[in-house]
């Protein structure tokens, strides 16, 4: 009889301990969701749209600059002929975007990109809308002088994206003005989409410095990356933020760029 009581008591204690452990694990999972942001893309598109310096960005003709036979790049001006010294190009240049179209809740989002070293003094920056003949933006920017992650704010160029329209943005180093097929370029795609009400409520209930995790979980890549990157710029020594950005970059198949943040 006494033995049976001990067995029953032992089982009760074991069950209680297991329930406590399960509760703790649930709490830890919730903390993990905050500490390690997870990007959940809502764009169901198997086609890889991102182009970077390690992919298909060199030696392509202008008509091959997009997956749609140049429809997004119509209206581009070819360079004039003439001799010119070939500029030095970085070994790696990458748009910090998903492989498929990235979403933003902003009509004037920030576009982020990474470069491994100095760029020429001037680079072409262009934004095109699908099936629109003229570029939305066609300008030049000053090339960075060192490795880093850089931002292009569309608000600074007075560029506004229409809702639910796909745009493609390009950064191009022109190697030979008389042969634009040799252009060295990167590109990414972006679509402006209003936030669902439930996401807006979650953002309102989340501390401001953690909202990038909510954006990422809702599939709004550009918002998450910009929100997190601005915090890193404000506090460069906060390594946890860099680890979070590295984690997001790994999730969109950019592990080599993630190393840049991990090493800081």
What's the pLDDT score for residue 78? Answer: 40
pLDDT band at 3 (very low <50, low <70, confident <90, very high): very low
Region 87-110 average pLDDT: 94
Q: What is the pLDDT of residues 119-148, one digit of tens each?
A: 999 999 999 998 788 999 999 999 999 999
Mean pLDDT of the chain: 80
pLDDT of residue 201: 98
CA distance 242 to 257: 11
Domain boundaries, the chain: 45-76+85-264
Cα distances from 54 to residues 79, 92, 97, 140, 257, in angstroms, run 24, 7, 14, 23, 12
**pTM strictly above 0.85:** no
Largest CA distance in the chain: 102
Strands 122-129 and 166-173: antiparallel
Give the residue-averaged pLDDT of 238-254: 95
Question: Which whole number is the average pLDDT over 26-53?
Answer: 70
pLDDT tens string 188-215:
999 999 999 999 999 999 999 999 999 9
């Amino acid at each position: 009889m006494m033995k049976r009581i001990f067995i029953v008591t032992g089982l009760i204690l074991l069950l209680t301990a297991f329930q406590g452990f399960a509760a703790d694990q649930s709490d830890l999972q919730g903390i993990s969701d905050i500490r390690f942001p997870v990007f959940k893309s809502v764009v169901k598109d198997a086609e890889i749209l991102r182009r970077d310096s390690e992919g298909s960005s060199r030696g392509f003709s202008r008509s091959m600059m997009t997956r749609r036979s140049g429809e997004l790049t119509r209206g581009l001006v070819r360079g004039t002929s003439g001799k010119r010294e070939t500029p030095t190009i970085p070994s790696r240049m990458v748009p910090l975007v998903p492989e498929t179209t990235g979403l933003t809740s902003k009509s004037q989002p920030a576009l982020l990109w990474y470069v491994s070293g100095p760029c020429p003094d001037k680079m072409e920056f262009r934004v095109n809308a699908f099936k629109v003949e003229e570029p939305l933006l066609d300008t030049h920017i000053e090339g960075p002088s060192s490795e880093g992650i850089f931002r292009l704010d569309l608000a600074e160029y007075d560029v506004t994206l229409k809702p639910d329209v796909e745009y493609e943005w390009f950064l191009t180093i022109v190697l030979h003005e008389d042969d634009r097929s040799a252009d060295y370029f990167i590109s990414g795609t972006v679509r402006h989409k209003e936030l669902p009400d439930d996401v807006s409520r979650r953002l309102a209930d989340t501390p401001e410095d953690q909202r990038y995790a909510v954006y990422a979980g809702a599939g709004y890549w550009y918002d998450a990356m910009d929100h997190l990157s601005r915090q890193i710029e404000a506090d460069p020594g906060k390594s946890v933020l860099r680890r979070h950005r590295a984690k997001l970059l790994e999730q969109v198949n950019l592990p080599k760029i993630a190393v840049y943040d991990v090493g800081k």
